[in-house]
Homo-oligomer: A and B are copies of this chain.
């Protein structure tokens, strides 16, 4: 709408981006359809597409075999032109996934760690998890455009961890600097609950919604917010930390499950809640009472979020969400007593993969912003075919 008269190179750039966008979303397309969608003349479209093919962004695809007459040439965005990695650095697991530029997964890996694992060992596990993905898909680090990383805690814009309850050594650590030294490409960092919320929005239980609260229920509690279809980060990237408020009653809530008498003596701390939840599912009254108390606490902070934000969907994710059948009915009852309008309550469909999948979606979104931002965004990496 507001193109200036003289700025032709900018116009051409916009035309190229417009063509890439349409091919990425709708492709493969013949030239005529692409011209129709971009509003360019057919000769201009041909010129733009030839340029993009030369740069390695776009390629011709073979015509459908059954086509009658002379088949129209069709073109598609080369999503295999570069690769994206998502990493989930948790207290107990380091996960990685590798995808093409459209977010199609090629490989996933996981390495167990501990909350007390020394920082250098945790970094080595990250490197190993990514190496594993590269080896499985026959790629090298040079093929990567973006590594997107999620971890627990509040991160500064350049990736220093300001606060982390889950990984004690994380506090004050310059994770961004270490990861930028580790990978020869762009590195993005984000809070893990926010990435999990994004994954549920795009691939999981919250598809089709624009107002979502993701509730991370596990040994530690967390929340990720989707508002108007986007991750809500907050002014200082510190949103979602309601677990810090004692009156929200989240911090000690898991103790009701951990300390239930149904848990056999000598059970490792990380397995205790699972026993209680399983016993509650089987109808054990002592376990059901522990679950009731747990949900009573869980519901306080959750009701605060629902009353404040009025989401369409509340997704229960994290380790305990495997017992969503046990947790959701009492949580729904408890919320209905206080909430003005009830959201839909749903269990995560992505389980333990939600953060790593959210990291992939985050990297895809970042590429979209580079392609489609009003100001053109930062420079894109050269496509691999052109770089070689």
CB atoms of A235 and B311 under 8 A apart:
yes
Contacts of A233 in B (CB 8 A): 310
Q: Is the CB of B341 within 8 A of A310?
A: no
The residue from B37, B236, B300 contacting A310, defined by CB atoms under 8 A apart: B236
**Out of B228, B238, B248, B340, which one reaches A238, CB within 8 Å?**
B340
Nearest chain-B residue to A240 (Cβ)? Answer: B308
A308-B239 CB under 8 A given contacts A36-B5, A228-B227, A247-B300: yes
Structural contact, B230 and A228, CB atoms closer than 8 A: yes
- What is the CB-to-nearest-CB distance from A223 to chain B, in angstroms, rounded to a whole number? 7
Asked whether any CB of chain B lies closer than 8 Å to the CB of A154, the reply is yes
Query: Quick check: A39 and B2 within 8 Å, CB to CB?
Result: yes
A3 partner residues in chain B, CB cutoff 8 A: 39
Q: Does any Cβ of B come within 8 Å of A343's Cβ?
A: yes
Q: How distant is the Cα of A225 from the Cα of B239 in the complex, in angstroms?
A: 14
Interface string of A199-243 (1 = CB under 8 A from B): 000000000011100000000000101011010111111111110
Of all chain B residues, the one with the shortest Cβ separation from A339 is B244
Are A312 and B235 CB-contacts (below 8 A) given A241-B340, A247-B249, A247-B304? yes
Q: How far is the CA of A308 from the CA of B305 in the complex (A)?
A: 8
Docked-complex contact A238 and B154, CB < 8 angstroms: no
Q: Is A162 an interface residue (CB 8 A)?
A: yes
Interface string of A308-350 (1 = CB under 8 A from B): 1111100000000000000000000000001111010000000
A234 to B309, CA, bound (A): 6
What is the copy number of this chain in the assembly?
2
Structural contact, A38 and B1, CB atoms closer than 8 A? yes
Using an 8 Å CB-CB cutoff, how does the interface string of A1-42 with B read, 1 for contact, 0 for none? 111110000000010001000000000000000011111000
| A228 in contact with B228 given A4-B36, A4-B39 (CB within 8 Å) | yes
A209 to chain B, nearest CB (A): 8
Is B244's CB under 8 angstroms from A247's CB?
no
Number of chain A interface residues as a range: 35 or more
Q: Does A303 contact B (CB under 8 A)?
A: yes
Task: Tell me, yes or no, whether A185 is within 8 Å of chain B by CB.
Answer: no
CA distance A14 to B3 in the complex (A): 13
A245 at the interface (CB under 8 A from B): yes
A163: CB under 8 A from chain B? yes
Interface residues of A in 284-320 (CB under 8 A from B): 300-301, 303-305, 307-312
Residues of chain B within 8 A (CB-CB) of A311 are 234-235
Given contacts A227-B227, A228-B227, contact A235 B310 (CB under 8 A): yes
Contact flag A242-B18 (CB < 8 Å), given A235-B343, A236-B341, A247-B247: no
CB pair B300–A245 under 8 Å, yes or no, is: yes
Tell me the minimal C-beta distance from A199 to chain B in angstroms. Answer: 20
List residues of chain B with CB within 8 A of the CB of A310: 233-239, 241
Closest B-chain residue to A163, C-beta based?
B340
Query: Which residue of B has the minimal Cβ distance to A18?
Result: B1
19 contacts between A and B (CB under 8 A): A2-B37, A4-B39, A5-B39, A211-B235, A225-B309, A227-B228, A228-B232, A234-B311, A236-B310, A238-B307, A238-B310, A239-B308, A242-B307, A245-B303, A245-B304, A245-B338, A247-B249, A305-B308, A308-B309
By a beta-carbon cutoff of 8 Å, the part of chain A in contact with chain B is 1-5, 14, 18, 35-39, 154, 162-163, 209-211, 223, 225, 227-228, 230, 232-242, 244-249, 300-301, 303-305, 307-312, 338-341, 343
